A and B are shown apart, each in its own frame.
Chain A
Amino acid sequence: MILPLGSMGAPQPDAPARIGADGSVAAVPGGSGATPLVELRGVTKTFGDIVADDDVHLAIAEGEIHALLGENGAGKTTLMRVLAGLTRPDDGDIRWRGAPVHIGSPADAIGLGIGMMHQHDMLVSTLTVEENFELARPRPPLALGLADTRGRVAALTQRYGIDVRPDQRVETLTVGQRQWVNLLRILDGPEVRLLILDEPTASLTQSERDDVFRTLRHLRAGGVAVILIVHKLGEVFEIADRATVMRAGRVVATRPVAETSKEELAALMVGHAVETRLAGATKAPGEVILSVAGLQTTGAARDLVDVSFEVRRGEIVGVAGVDGNGQRELGECLAGIRRPSAGRIEVRGGDVTGTTPPELTRLGVARVPEDRQEHGLALGLRIWENIHLGRSASRHLVRRGVVDTARARRLAADLAARFDVRAQDLEHPVGELSGGNQQKVILARELGDDADLVVAMNPTRGLDISATQFVYEQLAAARSRGGGVLLVSFDLDELLGICDRVLVMSGGRIAGEVSGAGADRTLIGMLMGGEHHVVAGDVAL
């Protein structure tokens, strides 16, 4: 089922009508004067000199879905870790159904009925699904037998309609399936009264997300309170009853969703109004800059099957699809780290099939990898060294194997300033930067030389609004100076918002193509679902 995104205002029909009009935190959310399920009062948490949460007040009612919004570093995750017993606050107290409680450990939290699903999952990849369930429920060390666990897991997966076998290894699951295992593992424990989800939808496709939301509504109907950390405003209006916005460790406002707008929440988050879309291309696309013909791979998680397309100068071409349908493999082939078994990749008419990353960089191909922390950066190395990383081939920086470090530092400082990397200085490890600034380091490195062709894979994943906007602006800048951009993304809003055309991948093939603006989402959904035979006006098969 594809839900219309961005439908604003109207509360979900099954939302309980117990949310009061008053959005202020001090007031009890149930207008009838009911005690909130959980209340945070004056919670403060510092790490060294950094104040993560500063005197935060927040009340959550039973049976509400409460969205928690804020830019990266606003203090949302720390606050939720306090509730889950993972972080001890320096100050402030917590009330559970009106009574003061001490949550000193995750066990305390679980005892109360608080379950938290983390942004980065805590599953052990090499174990099976049922073994991961076992881990969550410690038993005497000598107790044997997975049989009852297997039954429980099977029952849960069946109940929620998840296509996962209990004896399947976690490493074989897709990102979406892993999220489900995480969620089910929480629901498998003692009865959950408060469910905390830290960006559960960051890497999910639309239909996977719809399934999660349906489950959340179902839990809400049973009186469970849900706190949802989200970055996408559309999702707030799709699922939440109330929304609290945090900025710089403080609660800025709490609003009933029915009485606010995307624009207001966005402005509260960043402190100023933001553009949510980019203007389209100003001129007609030019000559072909990237040409892919008959690309095939073997031995990949999802092999490419006869993938052919072109990217022209002055256009942003999107690649949509459910995670695991060949987008990663396509990106890796184009990035020079996977060798295709057949087919041809040409940049400006020259064959670059199977060439190396430095050669691609020399040809002006910028590569923004999907996993910036794993593939894009060496987190323990300094910021300037990470900018130097992709530019080592330059003869001005390296002479006879010796790096001209003064020059490399100067160049990095220039690029960091141009790409608005916010750091005290460039001598700190890049791992100390926020996610948005880390991505800017990669953009500075890859786009700093006015790249001719940009291959970007999920470049805005997990970024806050202003960082996301910055990435869009950089991609648009590459387009307007006559470069070509290929943007792989799981976020359909993003693709339809900034792309001139969108290719849809399914099963390792290009299932179809739609134009960017005003595209039919249902059609894209069907193409993503493998409905190759769809015939419609703007589909080119």
Chain B
Amino acid sequence: MAAAGRMARATAINGFIVLLGLVVSGTLLALTGADVAAAAEALVGGSIGSPEAIRQSLVQATPILIAGLGVSFALRAGLVNIGADGQLYMGALFASVVAIFGPQLPWPIASIVMLGAALVGGFLWGALPGWMRARLGMSEVITTLLLNFVAFWIVSWAVHDPIRDPLGGGYPWTPEVPDAARLPALRMGGLIIPSGILLGLAIAAVISFVLHRTQFGFELRVLGDSPAAARWSGIPVSRRIVAALAISGGLAGLAGAAELAGNQLRLSDFFSPGFGFTALVVALVGRATPSGTVAAALFFGALAAGGGSMERVAQVPASTGLVVQGTVIAILVASRSAAARSLASRVRRLVARPRVGVA
């Protein structure tokens, strides 16, 4: 009961914040002299206005959802994984090498093998900073951040030389992923649903189960809440740290494969426009819960799709979508500050409170 009430209230508050963000960005847009009504129409139309718009929103949401779930998972264990972008690149690298240059397998085995390869790539790229944290005491904030660059340059080198598509028109990218490995889109009652987003939702459900129903997830949450209590109760802290970051990285790697096989089809060194960092934002906005991360990823996916449409239809720069995104994040963060909480409690007192006596 209480939990359902809290959930409903949180949803209402978040809806209000999103609305406020849109109003503020609309005001900013009006100041630049743009046609706000046309822009708003394009934003809504381009994100949820048609089955194609919805497909586009879901495609945009897929990598940030899966990588965001990875970041959330580590956050629950008290670990800040800023390296999702690098892990995503490593996952995409493993996936493209296996799918494009490995033996040609039939569908759906090719897809499964490719996703597995991506998982391994991201897993290793997450386990490395996990090991450095657990054994060498190096902050994962620094190591994961820096490993982004290492991963990026490895991929950049690979797509310029060993796995470059000779028929790629001179671009530094790989050949396309074969048909058998691609993630198909499903038709469901007039909607087109990319299967990558379903994969993301399934992962969210699994993570929710792992965190709340398994001993492993329980131990990670203890570790995230109080490392000292984890040590006192005999949880093998070092091993759990490595595992949490490795799984986090594995999911980010999987996000790379989902983007590769569901959208771009080729790996290049402009493959990720910062998916890993948007994933971090998604995880933080979603408060590191699977359901919150799903909601945040869908919202940011819709913003990205709608932003593109604003540029095409209303001649408003697509970066306006980023302005909306930034405004919403700023308001969200502000709304969770101590100042906002005290304001909220004051409002509640003014609105509805007869003096309560001593019990």
Show the binding face of A for B, using Cβ within 8 Å.
46, 48-49, 51, 54, 248-250, 335-337, 356-359, 361, 367, 369, 371, 374-381, 385, 388-390, 392, 398, 401-403, 405, 427
Contacts and interface: CB of A to CB of B under 8 A. Distances in A.
B170 interface: no
Interface in B241-270: none
B228 interface: yes
B350 interface: no
B236 to A, nearest CB: 9
A335 B118 CA distance: 42
A357 B226 CA distance: 16
Contacts of B219: 392
B216 A401 contact: yes
A51 B356 contact: yes
Contacts of B222: 378, 381, 385, 389
A371 to B, nearest CB: 8
B226 A51 contact: no
B176 to A, nearest CB: 40
B233 A380 contact: no
Contacts of B212: 405
Contact of A398 (B215, B233, B357): B215
B214 A374 contact: no
A403 B234 contact: no
Given A48-B345, A392-B215, A378 B358 contact: no
Contacts of A388: 218
B218 A369 contact: no
Given A249-B358, A375-B232, 14 more contacts: A46-B356, A337-B232, A371-B228, A374-B226, A374-B229, A385-B221, A385-B222, A389-B222, A392-B215, A392-B233, A401-B215, A402-B213, A427-B2, A427-B3
Interface string B201-212: 000000000001
Contacts of B218: 385, 388, 392, 403
Interface string B328-359: 00000000000000000100000000001111
Contacts of B229: 374-378, 389
Contacts of A376: 229, 232
A61 to B, nearest CB: 28
Given A51-B358, A250-B358, A401-B214, A335 B232 contact: yes
A357 B234 contact: yes
Contacts of B2: 427
A367 B232 contact: yes
Contacts of B161: none
Contacts of B225: 378-381
Contacts, number: 79
Given A54-B358, A381-B225, A356 B234 contact: yes
B239 interface: no
Contacts of A385: 218, 221-222
A388 B213 CA distance: 12
B233 A51 contact: no
Q: Which 3 residue pairs are nearest across A and B when measured between Cβ atoms?
A: A357-B234, A378-B225, A380-B225
Contacts of B9: none
18 contacts: A51-B356, A54-B358, A249-B358, A374-B226, A374-B228, A375-B232, A376-B229, A376-B232, A377-B229, A379-B225, A385-B218, A388-B218, A389-B229, A390-B233, A392-B218, A403-B214, A403-B215, A427-B2
A51 B232 contact: no
B228 A375 contact: yes
A405 B213 contact: yes
B226 A379 contact: yes
Nearest to B218: A403
B234 A358 contact: yes
A485 to B, nearest CB: 19
Contacts of A403: 213-215, 218
A51 B213 CA distance: 37
Contacts of A392: 215, 218-219, 233
Given A250-B358, A403-B218, A369 B213 contact: no
B221 A381 contact: yes
A248 B358 CA distance: 7
Nearest to A53: B358
A385 B211 CA distance: 12
Contacts of A389: 222, 229, 233
Contacts of A335: 232
Contacts of B234: 336, 356-359, 361
Contacts of A367: 232
A444 B233 CA distance: 15
A357 B215 contact: no
A337 B213 contact: no
A378 B215 contact: no
A170 B2 CA distance: 44
Nearest to B236: A356
A48 B225 CA distance: 25
Nearest to B355: A46
B208 to A, nearest CB: 13
B58 to A, nearest CB: 32
A402 B358 contact: no
Contacts of B231: 337, 375
